[in-house]
Chains A and B, each alone.
Chain A
Amino acid sequence: MTHHEVEKYRKPIRILHWIHSGAFVLLFLTGLILFIPGLAFLAEDSWTRIIHRIGAAIFVVIPIIYLIINPASVGRGLKLAFTWTKDDIGWLKAAPRYYFLGDESGMPPQGEMNTGQKMWWFIVVVFGVLFVITGVIMAFFKTTAPAALLQWMVFIHDVSFIVSGAMLFVHIYLGVFHPLMTDAWSAITGGKVSAEYARKHHGKWYTEVTKGKE
């Protein structure tokens, strides 16, 4: 079977993904309890605030380390995510029929990142930056910044939390639970997807990586 698999995510990418997402989940949960009055007792004496700051440090430092180690890879990823073609529009139109009914007839062939993944990247990048800017102001300028500014920082932090949190559910769902995303989990854990899955889900990319090999 081995020769029928293709590598989707290299090991450094997978490590980056899991540390970064682990930090995000930590941040998500320690933030969420502030919005559930019944659970807010967990935040008493500010222990969750310490955890939130440790999570934040990891959330910021890990991508920076990766950027230093492999700037070309980051550049390539950003370029992939922010390059939209008419196939992406086609994907958006055909996606509901595909994800609900399993009808892939209208789905245009996708590159290494499909349109949904591009949207997720967009959210991760944009709201990640917003999280960090607002969070830094709230953490380090709590006593010196004007009250109105701090209040709007809380507001933007919360909007980022809602958008990226809701999309995180979608991301986890598609990666783990959706009946058609059979190889997504193995892609981000072991790095490999079956050739069949790659051909179906990332047709353009599959053609590229297998060119001259088969």
Chain B
Amino acid sequence: MAEKAILYDATKCTACRGCQVACKQWNENDEVIPTEENGVASKNWGSYENPPDLSPTTWLKMRFTEVEAGGKVRWLFTRRACMHCTDAGCVRVCPNGTLYHDTEHGFVVYNQDTCTGCGYCVDACPFDVPRLEKSGILDIAGKMSKCTFCTTPGLDRIAEGWEPACVKTCPPRALKFGDRDDMVAEGKKRVQTLKDAGWTEANLYGENELGGLHVMYVLDDSPAVYGLPVSPQISAATIAWKDVIQPVGWAVGGLAIAGLGMNWLVARANVKKEAKK
């Protein structure tokens, strides 16, 4: 089956935050006003944006940005949730395969039961998305939580052939869901329309980033203006650690044990020889 994707059109979004609500409701992430204990506490810092950040029970939130352009203030909206990268930093660093790719659709999914709460995914994510629960013994045993693309077992909308909850609820149809190829084509068409209308910086974000994201954005300006990394990368530390030093570590450990075993055989034979003399 084809890879699937969400296409978010920032130029159509009204920031109603219906997606935030639908996400919480469908995924049974409690819809109480967040406090320190159950997420990131609500606070008033002069923005309609709320809650202030993603949390283990807030998998999706809209970020509001005020930008001054040509003497006018523009109010921009950015969808903040897992981008479901093809080359995903979180999957690379996960020690035990808790995070993995849904090979059928290309989503980044996880089995929370096996999560060790190490938090390496939090630091490896180029989009700062995964969050650790603050729970358990000494507040250090929390598990990771993030958007599952509505594929959480028992709450799997995709397997039913439905759209994700956020897409389903979006009133201005700023969110669309479908085969990734179709979404790319539709995004490109929309970008062309915007360019024709004078938005020269319009672009489709996520078509090729990190091997292709499964959440793509139609933007009327540079990703930087929307607070997105212009060129998201797997960090040097991730590569140095997982692709360089860990294989080296196994080699060093293996060679050490093999070398010592060899030494034992040789030295023992020589000691016996000496004893016979």
Bitwise, A75-104 to B at CB < 8 A (1) or not (0) is 000000000000000000000000111100
- Segment at the interface with A among B80-88, B120-128, B164-172, B205-213: B120-128
Contact with B along A133-156 (1 / 0, CB 8 A): 000000100110001101110110
A99 touches B253 (CB 8 A): no
- Tell whether, in the assembled complex, residue B270 and residue A102 are in contact, meaning their CB atoms are under 8 Å apart: yes
Closest chain A CB from B34 CB (angstroms) = 16
Q: How far does the Cβ of A200 sit from chain B's closest Cβ, in whole Å?
A: 13
**Stretch from B25-33, B111-119, B182-190 at the A interface:** B111-119
Q: Which of A12-20, A42-50, A59-67, A206-214 touches B?
A: A42-50
Partner of B253, one of A41, A101, A166, A177: A166
Report the contact-size class of chain A (Cβ under 8 Å from the partner).
35 or more
Do the beta carbons of A151 and B267 come within 8 Å of each other? no
From residue A168, how far is it (CB to closest CB) to chain B in Å?
9
CA distance A142 to B263 in the complex (A): 43
Are A155 and B241 also in contact (CB < 8 A) when A40-B114, A147-B128, A178-B263 are? Answer: yes
Complex CA distance for A37 and B267, rounded to whole angstroms:
35
Contact (Cβ within 8 A) A102 B274: yes
Taken together as a complex, chains A and B put the C-alpha atoms of A118 and B222 apart, in Å, by 58
Q: Are A158 and B270 in contact (CB under 8 A)?
A: no
Please pick, from A35, A148, A178, the residue contacting B237 in the complex, using a CB distance under 8 A: A148
CB distance from B23 to the nearest CB of A (A): 23
Interface residues on chain B, size class: 35 or more
Cβ of B245 < 8 Å from any Cβ of A? Answer: yes
| Bound-complex Cα distance A137 to B104 (A) | 39
A24 at the interface (CB under 8 A from B): no
A53 proximal to B (CB < 8 A)? yes
The answer to whether B96 and A41 touch across the interface, beta carbons within 8 angstroms, is yes
Q: Is the interface of A mostly helix, strand, loop or mixed?
A: helix
Given the complex, which residues of A lie within 8 Å of B47, measured CB to CB?
Answer: none
Pick from A43, A53, A151: contact of B124, CB under 8 Å: A151
Q: Are A49 and B271 in contact, with the CB atoms below 8 A? A: no
Contact indicator B260/A49 (Cβ below 8 Å)? no
Say whether A148 contacts B235, CB under 8 Å.
yes
Once the chains bind, are A179 and B252 in contact (CB under 8 Å)? no
Q: Which residues of A contact B116 (CB under 8 A)?
A: 34, 40, 43-44, 46, 48-49
Q: How many whole Å from A160's CB to the nearest CB in chain B?
A: 11
Q: Which residues of B contact A (CB under 8 A)?
A: 95-97, 113-120, 122-125, 128, 132, 136-138, 140-142, 235, 237-238, 240-241, 245-246, 248-249, 252-253, 256-257, 260, 263-264, 266-268, 270-271, 274
- Return 9 A-B CB contacts under 8 Å, by A number: A37-B95, A37-B96, A99-B267, A148-B235, A151-B123, A154-B237, A155-B237, A162-B252, A169-B260
